[in-house]
Amino acid sequence: MIEELFITHNGKVILGDPQAYPKDPEYPTHVVANKQLTQIKVNDLEISALYSNMDVFFILDYLEKLTAEIEGEVCTLTYNKVQENYFSILGVVHRYQVVITPREKSNSFAYIQSNDIYVDVIETYNVVLNREVFPKEDVLLDDSQDIVVSNPDPKNNTILRNDVMGFCFIKPGFLDTKTVKLIINKNNLNYISKNKLTEKFNKIEVEMDVTNKSQEVLKYTTKSKSPPPVSLIKENGVYKLTTTEAIFENLEIQIPVPDQIKRLKIKNSKGLASHDENMSVVKWIFKNEKVGRCYISFELETFVDQRCSNEVNVTFTIPKSSNSHMKIDKAVCLGHPGVNVWIKYDLCSGCYKIRV
């Protein structure tokens, strides 16, 4: 059931019950007691749901549809728009919010039992790419992490950060308690888990008792050695985009432009592009598309000479990816060979910035 919906800005609740919002939740999903908070980023806001006994990907789809409904009411969902249209947005949220309690039998859903277990692996990319060329040496970043700069080629992005945070969740389809065992390829990942992990050769084994609710199995971090899924360079005023994955469920590139524009003409080879005057960006959007290589360019005139940021923000979701850093080699329900275990790997952006 969904117990509460929130809209937050820089960690502060601006719509929803602040008392129910977990302290310092992890992105994109956070488990506390028997409840789970899942968030999506929308411009300068986060929209999240606090729930229990529901699939995380159902919630992600629910939040995206809720966002689309709100934006149908107020156009672009930003902090300023929430302040200006608070009661209109509150009305939309209330129409979508379903609070189910034992006393509200008319709102409850019958639990469907099956012999299935669903294992979801979600990886979030925290990436900083820079157009400048550095010598190959350790560079101290703002968060005091040392990382080796790579790709010293002026035609490519220099990778300042290419970190991955992964989350593994399990959701059974039965009411009674059973024991599940996962055997995972270690693959130089740093694992964090409340469950007991056993190392055997180059494998990690974890056993846990599960019942009819989503549980976090473990999370992990790594510095990716693979190219980031999205890169962007600027040459002679043309932004050239390259992606490594086949199909993106959604991909949004936000390219800064000056605040006061007299005329703006956009030319792009793929996707949909539009000027967001409130955020002073051009949004370049792809939906369920094989992106590959493409470009976008602008012709603009401003009222006054002005500079804008060179930092491009990227958000994306890649469902059912084959490029996950963690691989589950085997998943079984001990003592119950008839139980089916279904594993799905998804990739998404965390903090993903490209300086062009």
Question: What is the reported pLDDT for 155?
Answer: 52
Question: What is the reported pLDDT for 123?
Answer: 93
Tell me what percent of the chain is helix, strand and coil, each rounded to the nearest 5: 10, 50, 35
Domain ranges of the chain: 2-107, 116-226+323-355, 230-318
Sheet bearing 261-268, strands edge to edge: 230-235, 238-243, 293-302, 261-268
Asked if omega into 28 is within 30° of 0 (cis), the reply is yes
Name the band, by pLDDT with cuts 50, 70 and 90, for residue 326. very high
Question: What mean pLDDT value characterizes the chain?
Answer: 82
Structural element, H or E, at residue 314: strand 311-318
Question: What is the architecture, at CATH level 2, of domain 230-318?
Answer: Sandwich (2.60)
Largest separation between any pair of C-alpha atoms in the chain:
73
Task: Say how far apart CA 267 and CA 294 lie, in whole Å.
Answer: 11
Question: What is the reported pLDDT for 53?
Answer: 76
The lowest-confidence range among 134-143, 210-219, 344-353 is: 134-143
Name the band, by pLDDT with cuts 50, 70 and 90, for residue 295. very high
Question: What is the reported pLDDT for 60?
Answer: 86
14 Ramachandran zone, left/alpha/beta (phi>0; psi -120 to 50): alpha
Give pLDDT tens digits for 62-117.
888 888 888 887 878 888 888 888 777 877 777 665 433 333 333 333 344 567 88
Q: Looking at domain 116-226+323-355, which of 2.40.50.140, 3.40.190.10, 2.40.10.120, 2.60.40.1170 is its CATH number?
A: 2.60.40.1170
Residue located via tokens 């590139």: 253
Say if 2-107 and 230-318 have the same CATH topology. Answer: no
Give pLDDT tens digits for 143-199.
333 333 334 343 567 889 999 999 999 888 777 888 999 999 888 899 988 888 998
pTM listed for this prediction: 0.63
Question: What is the reported pLDDT for 186?
Answer: 84
Question: What is the architecture, at CATH level 2, of domain 2-107?
Answer: 2-Layer Sandwich (3.30)
Give pLDDT tens digits for 187-238.
889 998 888 899 888 899 999 998 877 788 999 999 998 889 999 999 888 9
Task: Say how far apart CA 170 and CA 216 lie, in whole Å.
Answer: 6
Write the DSSP symbol of residue 306: -
Give pLDDT tens digits for 239-269.
999 998 778 989 999 999 988 888 899 999 9
Pick from 204, 209, 210, 208: which is nearest to 191 by CA? 204
